[in-house]
Every structure is written in C-alpha cells, then in structure tokens.
C-alpha cells in the first residue's frame, strides 16, 4: 500500500528553527509537496520538490532524497503565525496526491 509518515505534533520556540520530517512509500513518484494549513482553513502551497536536494524559499526550505523516500521542511526564524499543520503529499504514478496526516506545529513565545 501507499503510505506517508509525519510526526503528529511538534513544539518549537519563537525565533528558533524546526525541521518536520516526511517519509513515504508510494507506487511511483512524480514530486513531493508541502502545504500549510491553519485550523479550519484551506491548505496553502509551500513548496515542491521533484529532484534530490534543497529548495529554499525565504524562511522555508524543503529537502528531498528520492532514494531514501524522505523529505523535510525546514522553518527558520519561527513566528507565532507559523503555528499550523504542515501537510506532506506525494504525487504517485497516476498523478494523484497521497497525503500524510499532517504535523501540528505549536510555537511558544
């Protein structure tokens, strides 16, 4: 079967750095997405990786290792507004997105 694993919850301090990991086992691979979702709201796109390596976008970076079936999202200079759930999704061989359950990130002052 297809599976995406992420930690359920993480806590970090305002101004710090946090890394959210995602491991996947899917039938085929056509890219990995990270989305941010505030409680009760729609997911919003953060990043996309299809080749191995690091993609940097402002305070957020995302890394991919296809051979290890592994990605992480790195958030720097954490702000209170970064408190949200972070969803990892892999596009499989049928171009369907397989979603992880999300990681709830709690930021403390």
Partner 1 sequence: DGGITQSPKYLFRKEGQNVTLSCEQNLNHDAMYWYRQDPGQGLRLIYYSQIVNDFQKGDIAEGYSVSREKKESFPLTVTSAQKNPTAFYLCASSIQLADYNEQFFGPGTRLTVL
Residues that bind partner 1 (CB under 8 A): 4, 8, 30-31, 33, 40-45, 48, 50, 87, 89, 95-102
Residue 63: beta bridge partners? 54, 72
Task: Give the residue with the Cβ less far from partner 1, 48 or 70.
Answer: 48
Cα gap 13→71, rounded to integer Å: 22
Task: Give the residue with the Cβ less far from partner 1, 67 or 95.
Answer: 95
Q: Is 81 helix (H, G, I), strand (E, B) or coil?
A: helix
Cα gap 48→86, rounded to integer Å: 13
Cα gap 8→74, rounded to integer Å: 16
- On whether the CB atoms of residues 82 and 105 are closer than 8 A, the answer is yes
We find the least distance from the C-beta atom of residue 78 to partner 1, in angstroms, to be 24
We find the least distance from the C-beta atom of residue 109 to partner 1, in angstroms, to be 27
Task: Give the residue with the Cβ less far from partner 1, 51 or 80.
Answer: 51
We find the least distance from the C-beta atom of residue 99 to partner 1, in angstroms, to be 3
């Amino acid at each position: 079967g297809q599976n995406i694993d992420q930690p359920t919850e993480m806590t970090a301090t305002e101004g710090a750095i946090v890394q959210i990991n995602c491991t996947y086992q899917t039938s085929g691979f056509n890219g990995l997405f990270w989305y941010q979702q505030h409680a009760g709201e729609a997911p919003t796109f953060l990043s996309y990786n299809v080749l191995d390596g690091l993609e940097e976008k402002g305070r957020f970076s995302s890394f991919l290792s296809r051979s290890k079936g592994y990605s992480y999202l790195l958030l720097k200079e954490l702000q209170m507004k970064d408190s949200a759930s972070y969803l990892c999704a892999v596009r499989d061989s049928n171009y369907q997105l397989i979603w992880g359950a999300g990681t709830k990130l709690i930021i403390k002052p």
